[in-house]
Every structure is written in C-alpha cells, then in structure tokens.
C-alpha cells in the first residue's frame, strides 16, 4: 500500500542518514590530532613529584596526601565548584601547603602528569638549562606521539639523574601541540628528508630514545564504502590505509639516519622502541597500506645491532591507553603473541623505557614485553633483575629485501601456473 511504501522510504532515509552521520563521526575522529586526549584529571599534591629513580637509591621527596578531581580537559585553578583539599588523616606527619599549579594536569587515560613539577627553582614552569649537573642529556625522537609525550613528561619532571631533555618532533604543528606551555626544549627534524636537523639536538647527548614510526591514515572513501555495505547488509572489505611517509622512509631510512647521527655525536646508549610481530613476514600489520612496516622496523633493528653502539631494543605488544602500573612480562621472537592477552599500556611501556635508560643491565638486549595482571609496586620491583633476565631476539631470519624478493617470485609463479 501507499502507507507501507511511505514507511519503507522513511526507514530507508533514516538508515542512510544515520550511516552518513556515523561515517562523518568516524572521519572526524580519525583526522583529529588528539582523539585520545579528551579526558583529563587534576592532581593536587602536597609534595614534589617523587622521582622514578627512587629504586636506584637517589633521594626523593615523599608523596603526601593526594586528592584526584575530574575536571574535563581543564586545569584546576579558577574552576567553580572545586572544594579545598580536605585535611589528611592524623598520622603524626606534617603536610606542607602547596598552591595548585595550573599546569599540573594529569592524563586520566594515561595516568601520570603532563609536565609540571614542584621545584623551588622552577616556579614559573620554564624549562631549566640544567636539572642535574651530573645527569644525562636525553634525546627523544617522535616526542609528539602519545608514548613520546608521556616519556617527555616523566623525564622533565625528574629532579635527579637527568640533565637535559630534548624533544625532536616532525613538524611545527607537532611542536606547537607538544610545547603549548613552553615547557620543553623542542627541535624540528624530518628524520627522512632532513637528517642534518638532528645534529643540534644530538650534540653532547648521552641517550637517544627512538620513538619515530610511519603512521597510516584511513582512506575516507573506504570508510564510505564500508558504511554503505553495512547499511545494505553486504559483505564489506576492511578499511584501506595510506602513508604520507612510508615505513621504508621512516622506519628504515629515518631510523638509520638517527643511528648514524647518534654514532657521529658519540651517543652512549640508543633505545629503539619497535613492535612485536617482526619475526613473521605474514603479520597483518605488514599488509596495512602495503607498507610492510614490521619488516622495515626489523631492518633498522639489525642496523642498530651492527652499528657498534650500546643498544636496547624493545618490542611492545599492542599499546593501550589504560593507566597501567602492572608488572611486565618478557619474551623473545614473538612467543608472547600466542598468549590470549598480549598488550601493554603506554604508561607501562614508558616505565620500561625509563628504567632502561638508567639500568646498565638493559644494554645489549632485544626483547618483547607485555603487561601482566599483577599490580606493580615500584618501591620494591627489581628492574635490574628484570633486564638481566631478558633474552635476545633472533635476527638470523632473512632481511626485508630478501623476503620481498621471495614474495615477488612466488607471486609470479602463481600467475604463470594460473
């Protein structure tokens, strides 16, 4: 009947509109630079930030009575409705009163501070020329990424063991996103196109932490096709991806450039954060954008091992944005991929990187790491024993060029046979 046709038309229109709206939301989320940065919490502390080096015997301040308040993406100061911090329980301890710092924000999803610290000689939150005269000069490349930001925040907040932190980012846009408060010593360098820009931040550096990686972007058209396939209940292919700079350019040539510059500058220790799955050429990550990203990462790892530099290579499992603070689990050669849960939070990965910077036992190791479900007590956890027990991944498998050449031969044989 006419009524049924009209009802069907309205239903079809509503479904189409809903699908297009969903596509719009997904596209906006995919292109937004801070899609994971929308939750914040502010922490009011009654003492300075306790340094992660407490387990290494450095003097640190005791953390006093704390209170956490959810305040969206805003700092605490000037927000109506926030009540004063309540008095701590009577424990016989005294707690100094500290004025809340408007820059002292925490990532609710990440779990730690974003970059402010309480220090008598740093009241204006300006990046000091020197934190600790006897500390390390540390360079972080890929510092504007989610993991890089967390690492920069933690290192910047340390009073002992760190002399300077230099953050290398890809572009002026990344620099403004990372350094909106003017807290960090940032340098712009395209590690693929302009490796000479690495000379300044690498000068007199002690440790280099490589966090650069090619980033896939979803092709918008593939999302639209996927939405319409869902709408009309048709079998849909997976979304397609592209790279602005390919894994060969970033994860191989770009990382090789960084290793070469580190060697020229006399860097004492290079920590390369890669990914699990590199031992399997058929891993699904290699199919994203036809980039073979894990194969190119593996080639850079081989280059670092043969460079003669002190190195630590870390293969984290799937990265999550959970708060973390769980004990890590070690593995080699992707054996951890057989486990039902094979992920690690960025917060826990950053803790592994931090400890690798200061633990000599981490040097000369190439290992996989995921998080367990056991909470970690940093005051008692033995990081020296952790790194001492780490194995070394096997790099005797064919390199990326050999694997790709074999793949082409097999493909041509299949075409001839067909």
State the pLDDT at residue 177.
87
H/E run at residue 237: none
State the pLDDT at residue 77.
38
Q: Residue 344: which of 361, 331, 363, 333 has the closest Cα?
A: 331
State the pLDDT at residue 74.
33
Q: Is 275 a catalytic residue?
A: yes
State the pLDDT at residue 202.
97
State the pLDDT at residue 396.
87
Catalytic residue among 51, 274, 275, 345: 275
Name 324's Cβ contacts closer than 8 Å, sequence gap at least 6.
111, 344, 345, 346, 347, 348, 351, 371
Sign of the dihedral defined by the CA atoms of residues 101, 103, 109, 110, in that order:
negative
State the pLDDT at residue 95.
36
pLDDT less than 50: residues of the chain:
2-3, 5, 33-128
Distance separating alpha carbons of residues 295 and 285, to the nearest angstrom: 10
Distance separating alpha carbons of residues 75 and 73, to the nearest angstrom: 7
Extract the runs of DSSP E, i.e. beta strands, from 251-378. 269-273, 311-316, 318-320, 326-331, 343-345, 365-375
Q: Which residue is it, tokens 């996927």?
A: 226
Taking the model in full, what pTM does it have? 0.69
State the pLDDT at residue 407.
72
State the pLDDT at residue 25.
66
Convert 251-261 to b/e letters by CB count within 10 Å (16 or more is b).
bbbbbbbbbeb
State the pLDDT at residue 71.
29
State the pLDDT at residue 28.
60
State the pLDDT at residue 101.
38
């Amino acid at each position: 009947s006419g009524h049924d046709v009209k009802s069907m038309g309205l239903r079809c229109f509503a479904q189409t509109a809903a699908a297009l709206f969903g596509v719009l939301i997904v596209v906006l989320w995919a292109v937004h630079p801070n899609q994971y940065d929308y939750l914040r919490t502010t922490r009011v502390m009654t003492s300075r930030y306790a340094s992660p080096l407490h387990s290494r015997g450095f003097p640190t301040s005791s953390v006093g009575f704390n209170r956490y308040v959810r305040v969206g993406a805003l700092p605490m100061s000037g927000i109506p409705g926030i009540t004063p911090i309540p008095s701590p329980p009577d424990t016989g301890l005294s707690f100094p009163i500290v004025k809340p710092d408007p820059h002292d924000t925490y990532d609710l999803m990440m779990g730690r501070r974003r970059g402010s610290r309480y220090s008598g000689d740093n009241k204006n939150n300006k990046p000091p020329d020197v934190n600790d005269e006897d500390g390390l000069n540390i360079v972080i490349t890929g510092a504007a990424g989610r993991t890089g930001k967390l690492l920069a925040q933690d290192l910047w907040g340390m009073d002992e063991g760190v002399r300077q932190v230099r953050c290398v980012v890809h572009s002026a846009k990344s620099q403004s996103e990372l350094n909106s408060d003017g807290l960090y010593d940032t340098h712009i360098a395209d590690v693929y196109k302009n490796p000479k820009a690495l000379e300044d931040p690498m000068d007199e550096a002690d440790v280099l932490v490589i966090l650069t990686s090619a980033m896939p972007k979803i092709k918008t058209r593939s999302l639209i096709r996927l939405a319409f396939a869902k709408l009309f209940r048709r079998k849909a292919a997976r979304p397609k991806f592209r790279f602005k700079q390919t894994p060969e350019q970033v994860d191989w040539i770009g990382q090789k450039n960084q290793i070469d510059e580190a060697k020229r500058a006399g860097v004492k220790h290079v920590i390369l954060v890669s990914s699990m799955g590199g031992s399997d050429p058929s891993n699904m990550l290699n199919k994203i954008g036809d980039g073979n990203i894990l194969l190119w990462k593996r080639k850079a790892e081989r280059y670092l091992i043969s460079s003669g530099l002190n190195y630590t290579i870390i293969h984290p499992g799937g990265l999550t944005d959970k708060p973390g603070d769980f004990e890590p689990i070690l593995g080699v050669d992707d054996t951890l991929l057989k486990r039902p849960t094979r992920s690690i939070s960025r917060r826990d990965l950053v803790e592994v990187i931090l400890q690798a910077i200061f633990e000599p036992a981490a040097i000369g190791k190439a290992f996989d790491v995921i998080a367990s479900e056991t909470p970690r007590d940093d005051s008692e956890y033995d990081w020296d024993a952790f790194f001492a027990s780490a194995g070394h991944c096997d790099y005797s498998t064919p390199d990326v060029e050999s694997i790709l050449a074999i793949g082409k031969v097999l493909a041509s044989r299949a075409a001839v046979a067909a």
